[in-house]
Amino acid sequence: MNAKSVTPEIKQSIAELREQINDHNYRYYVLDAPDIPDVEYDRLMNELKRLEAEHPALIVPDSPTQRVGAAPLSAFSTVKHEMPMLSLDNAFSDEEIADFNRRLSERLKSTEDIEFACEPKLDGIAISLLYEDGVFVRGATRGDGETGEDISQNVRTIPSVPLRLRGKGFPATLEVRGEVYMPKASFNSLNEYARKHDQKTFMNPRNAAAGSLRQLDSRITANRRLEFCAYGVGLVREGNLPDRHSEILRRLQQWGVRISDKLAVVKNLAGCLEYYKDLEQVRADLEYDIDGIVYKVNRIDLQRQLGFVSRAPRWAIARKFPAQEEMTRLINVEFQVGRTGAVTPVARLEPVFVGGVTVSNATLHNQDEINRLGVQIGDTVIVRRAGDVIPQIVSVVMSKRPAETIQIVFPSDCPVCGSPVEAMPGEAVARCTGGLVCEAQRKEAIRHFASRRAMDIDGLGDKLVEQLVDQSLVHSVADIYRLDAETLAGLERMGKKSAEKLVKAIESSKSTTLPRFLYALGIREVGETTARNLAAEFGNLDDLMKADQGRLQQVKDIGPVVAHFVEEFFQQSETREGIRSLQNAGVHWDEFTPGENTAGEGDQPLAGLTYVITGTLESMSRDDAKEKLQQLGATVAGSVSKKTHAVVAGPGAGSKLARAEQLGITILNEKDFLALLEKPESAQ
């Protein structure tokens, strides 16, 4: 297409579009408070792309359209850092932080409390961004601290890196330093895609970020969803910055650069230790990986007075969290059978301290994962544990493989009941075909049925279920309701009072709700939300049991796979007989008109609203609070976002409460929450 003539109106339209898009990028990536929907943003971007395509002479390097990636490089050129990018000393205990604080006071010859700027230590890749007159001109890796690599093309593709600074007052030359990282959601999506296409997966988000940032083809980087967060500045010419580190960062934020929303200023050692404990508690809930806290003396004049030692500043230190990855040896592999018959390989490891706990077992998922890892018994492996996630083997240290290792062979027969193990076409999971004949499946089915979110039979724990099945006292979930106090009292660790208490709990569980009952049945792929949707759609069990796949797919969020599992489950004669036995034993629930909420009381006044629960509630558990909200039609999320309608905050609320306050989201205390449950229509 031939370039069209450029008119003043065209120039003005392009300039206005760029300004609007840059402003929306700032609101989205820096303030986390967008004011237009994605579709409107896309419309603006497409219009700018169209005008630039018609007038290529008007394309400039800092245009928002110039993030898609350029032609591949043959190699990265080197960059000499005018100011070295130094590393930090590490501390691993409260005592070491206390020593750090003491050394500062002694060197400053002062007894006054020191003010510290505290930030999460993002587990990513340190880079440098160079701006000249507010325009991005170069991105570089840290390298060895003296020399790095020019990765400008790749940095341009990162949406949270501004190509032009906002406002005015910035130095003529400004070097912004920070961390490039990959959010957990992006990392999981990347590895899921890799597995589906038989590609190599990444060990952790940091490795994924590093690999993505050093792609010679920046178009690949553009598709990897990296993010940038600033932690300081380097070279500054012809301009002044505030006299405190925290204020420098906030000034960067005003200029359009993202900084951590967890940035805090504290005084003295006690403030540092409290910040560490607060962040450690919410670490697993963050959308990104962090491996510690960075403490920096906040006053710049004191930083200069303290100076540097070797390759690290005296005025900063990193307090590291317990390592989330460690090496250990794979001793053996055992195979466990779950509620749906899934046969899962479990790695038995030489105990190793990782992620704050001693780990001796890790999941290997399935045969495909074993093949992908190439792991064998006797190998040295890297184990990862993040938050409450089940430990997993992420790679094999091939250089440490001994001469003699043993191949991991999946069983052809169930290790519990001896029934054939089969893998359906297209499924990675192999399953025991024994059904409830298999004691392992029976035990898991009973545990699930009695669990708190299902029938909520308090006192029917794992050890007791083991005894009931092993002694042939319970063959199905219906047998639970035939147990008596005398039989129970004769079991190990069960006295008369415990037995009577359990019998009362069993009796109490007979009165339930249809969603809980459906969830308790353990239908494949039917979790709590799907159970609620089924109950709301059909209103009673009889109509649901008659539904075919076509009818089931009309239910919210149910596709062909789940519809198949539901239809297949209710067509089985064993299922129908089991349900009749449960109803004959007295299990019941209130039915309601299809389309009503799962509590059976009118419409769903909170439909379309998203709530987050944080902290501890005194009048009920968080699970109970979640269920009450869901019964009223609300969605209950695990993290706060711009889509959150309100946050229910009890004592001990941490980062989620702070996030809600930052976004201006409504915050309900327990009294407000109880009032909402009484009059949910007031939420609108």
Residue 260 has pLDDT above 90, yes or no: yes
pLDDT tens per residue across span 348-386? 999 988 876 788 999 888 888 898 889 999 999 988 876
Nearest alpha carbon to residue 306 among 551, 44, 106, 518: 106
- The per-residue pLDDT for 1 is 45
- The per-residue pLDDT for 492 is 87
Q: Which two tokens stand for residue 646?
A: 């309100």
Q: How far is CA 462 from CA 458, 473, 499, in A?
A: 12, 15, 15
Q: Range with the lowest mean pLDDT among 177-186, 484-493, 673-682?
A: 673-682
Q: What is the pLDDT confidence band of residue 74, given thresholds at 50, 70 and 90?
A: low
Q: Which two tokens stand for residue 179?
A: 């961390």
- The per-residue pLDDT for 379 is 95
- The per-residue pLDDT for 600 is 39
Q: What is the DSSP letter of 420?
A: B
Of 632 and 106, the structure prediction assigns the larger pLDDT to 106
Q: What is the DSSP letter of 5?
A: P
Burial degree of 682 (CB within 10 A; 0-12, 13-18, 19+): exposed
Residue 489 CA to residue 485 CA, distance in Å, equals 6
Q: Distance between terminal CA atoms of the chain?
A: 52
Average pLDDT for 468-485: 92
- Written as one letter, the residue type at 61 is P
pLDDT tens per residue across span 112-155? 999 999 999 998 889 999 999 999 999 999 887 888 889 998 99
130: how many CB neighbours lie within 10 A of its CB? 19
For the chain, how are helix, strand and coil distributed in percent, rounded to 5?
40, 20, 40
Average pLDDT for 324-349: 90
Annotated catalytic residue: which of 80, 121, 267, 671?
A: 121
- The per-residue pLDDT for 599 is 40
Residue 76 has pLDDT above 60, yes or no: yes
Q: Range with the lowest mean pLDDT among 335-349, 409-423, 425-439?
A: 425-439
pLDDT tens per residue across span 430-465? 888 777 678 888 898 899 999 988 999 999 988 899
pLDDT tens per residue across span 520-566? 998 888 888 788 889 989 989 999 999 999 999 998 878 888 898 89
Is 11 noted as a catalytic residue in this protein? no
- The per-residue pLDDT for 204 is 78
pLDDT tens per residue across span 546-559? 999 999 999 887 88
- The per-residue pLDDT for 597 is 44
* 550 Rama class: left (phi>0) / alpha (psi -120 to 50) / beta: alpha
190: how many CB neighbours lie within 10 A of its CB? 21
Of 72 and 309, the structure prediction assigns the larger pLDDT to 309
Task: Give me the half-sphere count of Cα atoms (radius 13 Å) on the Cβ side of residue 634.
Answer: 27
Q: How far is CA 170 from CA 131, 258, 471, 482, in A?
A: 9, 15, 77, 77
Q: What is the DSSP letter of 341?
A: -
Max distance between CA atoms of the chain, in angstroms, equals: 94
Average pLDDT for 593-605: 50
Nearest alpha carbon to residue 269 among 103, 109, 86: 103
Q: What is the pLDDT confidence band of residue 596, given thresholds at 50, 70 and 90?
A: very low
- The per-residue pLDDT for 285 is 80
Q: What is the pLDDT confidence band of residue 592, given thresholds at 50, 70 and 90?
A: low
Residue 321 CA to residue 385 CA, distance in Å, equals 12
- The per-residue pLDDT for 30 is 66
Residue 432 bridge partners (DSSP): 421
Residue 499 CA to residue 492 CA, distance in Å, equals 11
Nearest alpha carbon to residue 258 among 249, 266, 267: 249
Q: What is the pTM of this model?
A: 0.54
Q: Is 233 helix (H, G, I), strand (E, B) or coil?
A: strand
Q: How far is CA 371 from CA 310, 338, 432, in A?
A: 46, 21, 21
- The per-residue pLDDT for 593 is 53
10: how many CB neighbours lie within 10 A of its CB? 15
Q: What is the DSSP letter of 236?
A: E
Nearest alpha carbon to residue 219 among 67, 50, 25: 67
The torsion of the CA quartet 263, 266, 269, 270, rounded to 10 degrees, works out to: -100
Residue 3 has pLDDT above 70, yes or no: no
pLDDT tens per residue across span 31-59? 656 666 666 776 787 788 888 888 888 88
- The per-residue pLDDT for 275 is 93
Q: What is the DSSP letter of 66?
A: T
Backbone angles phi, psi at 406, to 5 degrees: -120, 130
Nearest alpha carbon to residue 541 among 597, 594, 477: 594
Mean pLDDT of the chain: 85
- Written as one letter, the residue type at 181 is Y
- The per-residue pLDDT for 621 is 72
Give the ranges where 330-378 is alpha helix by DSSP (H).
Answer: 367-373
- Written as one letter, the residue type at 410 is F
- The per-residue pLDDT for 598 is 42
Q: Which two tokens stand for residue 92?
A: 């691993």
Are 475 and 482 spatial neighbours (Cβ–Cβ below 8 Å)? Answer: no
Q: What residue ranges define each of the domains in the chain, with the CATH number in brackets?
A: 8-58 (1.10.287.610), 90-320 (3.30.470.30), 325-417 (2.40.50.140), 435-509 (1.10.150.20), 514-589 (1.10.150.20), 610-683 (3.40.50.10190)
Residue 601 has pLDDT above 50, yes or no: no
Residue 665 has pLDDT above 60, yes or no: yes
- The per-residue pLDDT for 10 is 87
Of 629 and 483, the structure prediction assigns the larger pLDDT to 483
Of 197 and 182, the structure prediction assigns the larger pLDDT to 182
Residue 69 has pLDDT above 60, yes or no: no
